Structure 1
Amino acid sequence: MRAVRVHEYGVQPTVDEVPDPRVTGPLDVLVQVNAAGVCRTDLHVVEGQWADRSGVDLPYVLGHENAGTVVEIGSAVTNVLVGDKVILHPLVTCGLCRPCRAGDDVHCENSAFPGIDTDGGMADLLLTNARACVRLPDGLAPADVAALADAGLTAYHAVRRAVPLLYPGAHAVLLGAGGLGHIGIQVLTALSPAELTVVDRSEEALSVAEELGAQHTVLADGTHTEAVADITGGRGARVVLDFVGEGGTEKEGVAMTRDAGSYFVIGYGGALDVPTIDVVSREISVVGNLVGTYNDLDELMHLAARGQVRQRTRTYPLDAAPDALDDLEHGRLPGARAVLEPVAG
């Protein structure tokens, strides 16, 4: 089969021919990949940011946002059948450890993370397990939802955690309305009554944010922190959701957070430097967000099936994966996600 593999950090991946994965365990599920999202995390992987954390040996296959068609199942699989269309939770989890038993899949003590610490789904086939498979509701195609498997799931997870803080009259600020943030906007407007301000450096992305329901949009032009202060009456936001996490948004996000508010970190790549006296005297909370649970993904699919969450995508054939990564890296996908289609379905 074909697969997009990293051979050396800092060097563009290549499309290679590799052996097909095989079902060997009773809970294994082999999926024909109809769609694989291209995520900023893939860029970080190529850059080597995950090298020490993942411990993966090169070369290996990228791709942690995957959806497709079940083509083979192990002897104990009962939740999906051959031919089912599925979206895959990013982690392959054990179901037996304490986090799994509590429904906290993302912190499974025995997990594998395809595309991060094991071969991923930018390929014709991906081997996963029964616990990772969420059957798609009628009317949803893999290409429509693949990028929701991580980007959408992460956005949903963060917003879902923020919703209890966002009572009617509360204000939320969302930084970055791109591939991750535009999903966050939709989830926030679907689940919360909060007033929403979106900040981005792209006029096009801000236009999309308005279409998706943002009450205020602010161009990141160097005066945006002051503009957000004006919009929030000088108090700042009850919740700031930072979908960028680098290039200065870390400092700006904290500055936009009101006293006793919460700064949610979703995007990453930068560093957070907050004086402890500010954390104490302002009583602010900094909340990290890593992907989401199986139930989060299932709930997100129901919102997608109702049309409450949609993503703008640009599709590429698998062989054009280097082009998709380059377009993402150089900002040629404002407000949209790149999706590879190894096998259309």
Structure 2
Amino acid sequence: MLRGQMKALMKHHRGAGGRLEEVDIPTLRENEVLVRVKATSICGTDVHIYKWDEWAQSRVHPPYIFGHEFAGEVVEVGQKVTNVQVGDKVSAETHLVCGACPPCLRGQYHICLRTKIIGVDTNGCFTEYVALPERNIWKNPKNMLYEVAAIQEPMGNAAHTVLSGEMTGKTVAVIGCGPIGLMAISIAQAAGASKVLAFDVNEYRLQLAKRMGATIVIHSIKEDPVKQAIKSTGGYGVDVICEMSGNPAAINQAFKMVTNGGRVSILSLPTRPVEIDVTNDIVFKGVIVQGITGRKMFSTWQQVSQLLQSGKVDMVPLLTHRFPLEKFEEAFVLMIQGNCGKVILIP
């Protein structure tokens, strides 16, 4: 049994920032797996926690280890673990679900009423070792890069958003080209979209959007997003909207540019209520509106893994920056500035 201490990035107090500390290596429960973290990536949620915004203040309870996107190698398994072995290369589903509430009993584990999230409600992966229940472990192909394997969890969010409805031959708008929006662009192309429009206000990320396969990129301040979307779809409007920005104005624009009978899938988390013209932009247009949370357990993981293995989706261009865990402050500054794709931390 592994004993000793490990370095860990702690959300050490109820305030901005984080602190690198030495903590005990986790002791395994009988149904858990201990993973040596090889690569971990920073999520927008981690930025909320690091900045200590209103959402973080209402949700997390320091001190604890944060971070939830990672890949690594299994170094120890509990007595009742049967399907995971020492040496397996793995990632993890980050939602800890009860398995007993009505959504879980319907097989909708991703909307479990008692969900806890690794690195938000429990200790996370910005560290050298992380212990997780066996049922949350996802085995990776031996030839998959750890850095790519580490971003399958957020890629699952993108896949869940894009693939929640018919995609073949559809025009698609991705609003918000943060890392998950950029992933959605590639997934939409791989799924057979006829055209993918990418919207953002950050020039760096619009250029990344081109690299990830966007047909048209639109700067949402320099151009009128709705007019450009209507023009780019022959005057009919966009078939599928993937809302990733969380910006109230952008969300309103999404409902203006969607075609009659189209779909608006919303993954973003607006920080305040959003006013929408429900009568004209939803009801009279017959629009399908979907809220997207997490990943379907585990069908979305299968889609993500197979897309990566097929070569139809390449996430390597999205991995723009790498830092040792000790340089976490530089990494978070870069994330806050937004001139990056996915930022990787190496413990």
- In structure 2, the residue matched to 1:152 is 155
Aligned to 1:252: 253
Aligned residues with identical type, % of pairs = 26
Q: How does 1:183-202 map to 2 (within 5 A)?
A: 183-202=183-202
SS in 2 for 1:144: helix
Alignment partner, residue 325 of structure 2? 318
What does 1:1-345 correspond to in 2, within 5 Å? 1-24=6-29, 26-46=30-50, 47-51=52-56, 54=59, 56-149=60-153, 151-162=154-165, 164=166, 166-168=167-169, 170-220=170-220, 221-246=222-247, 248-270=249-271, 271-278=273-280, 279-293=282-296, 294-311=298-315, 312-313=318-319, 314-333=321-340, 336-342=341-347
Of structures 1 and 2, the one scoring higher in RCO (CA 8 A, sep 6+) is: 1
| Contact 1:2/1:18 (<8 A) preserved | yes
| Counterpart contact for 2:183–2:212, Cα < 8 Å | no
**Superimposed CA distance per residue, residues 122-164 of structure 1 (whole angstroms, 9 cap, x where no aligned partner):** 1111111111111111310222221221x211001111103x2
RMSD: 2.1
Quick one: distance in 2 between partners of 1:96 and 1:73? 25
- For 2:150 and 2:193, how far apart are their aligned partners in 1? 28
CA distance in 2, matches of 1:240, 1:306: 25
Offset of 1:97 from its aligned partner?
A: 4.7
Shift of 1:321: 1.6
C-alpha contact (below 8 Å) 2:111/2:293 kept by paired residues? no
**Deviates further, 78-87 or 197-206:** 197-206
Q: Are 1:50 and 1:116, in contact at CA under 8 Å, matched by a contact in 2?
A: no
Aligned equivalents of 1:52, 1:327: Cα separation in 2: 22
In the TM superposition, what is the alpha-carbon distance from 1:101 to its structure 2 partner?
4.8
TM superposition shift of 1:193: 3.5
| Consecutive unaligned residues in structure 1, runs of 5 or more | none
Q: Secondary structure at the match of 1:42?
A: helix
SS in structure 2 opposite 1:18? Answer: strand
SS in structure 1 of the partner of residue 164 of structure 2: helix
Query: Retained in 1: the 8 A contact 2:172–2:188?
Result: no
The Cα of 1:178 is off from its aligned counterpart by: 2.9
SS in structure 2 at match of 1:78: coil
Runs of 5+ unmatched residues, structure 2? 1-5
CA distance in 1, matches of 2:270, 2:336: 13
Contact 1:100 1:107 in 2 (8 A): yes
Query: What code does the residue aligned with 2:158 have?
Result: A
Equivalent residues of 1:27, 1:76 under 8 A apart: yes
1:305 is displaced (CA, Å) by 2.1
Distance 2:201 2:53 in 1: 26
Kept in 2, the 8 Å contact 1:36–1:341? The answer is yes
Higher mean C-alpha displacement, 119-128 vs 254-263:
254-263
Partner Cα distance (1:101, 1:84) in 2: 30
TM-score (normalizing by structure 2): 0.89
Could you tell me whether the CA contact under 8 Å between 1:92 and 1:128 is conserved in 2? no
Number of aligned residues:
334
